[in-house]
Amino acid sequence: MVSQSFGSSIALRLAGRRPALLRGITGHEPPLFLLVADDPAIGTVIEEQGRIDAAVAERIASGDHAGAAEQFVEEALGAGLWHRFSPEAKQMRIEHAESHRDEVNDPEVMSFDLE
């Protein structure tokens, strides 16, 4: 299985709970910030990501999927990046807004049971 970002967190949890389902995982940048939450340098990163996620989820809930997609890309991935996305990539982000909201509202998305 190949996964990225929130999908990597989900794939890792699946592998931990049902390892027989997978032969292997390649996970790119799972946002497992809570694994290093005791590191003082990461505290501000976690707070900022929480602020971004809450604002984006609120926009999605209000029905502004396009605005939420652009806000997430610009604030979480990098300023100026949205305009570099292809129209297809932008549309995909917009169409998957509800899934994005579900992911950021998942209380386990930034953690992983290492045992």
Interval 6-35 mean pLDDT: 88
Give me the torsion for CA of 68, 91, 10, 64, rounded to 10°: 20
pLDDT value of position 26? 92
Interval 59-73 mean pLDDT: 96
**Tokens 């502004």 sit on residue:** 64
For 8-17, 59-68, 76-85, which range has the lowest pLDDT when averaged over its residues?
8-17
Could you report the per-residue pLDDT of 84-107, keeping only the tens digit for each? 999 999 999 999 999 989 888 887
Q: Show the beta-strand stretches assigned E in the chain.
A: 2-4, 26-28
111, 35 Cβ separation under 8 angstroms:
yes
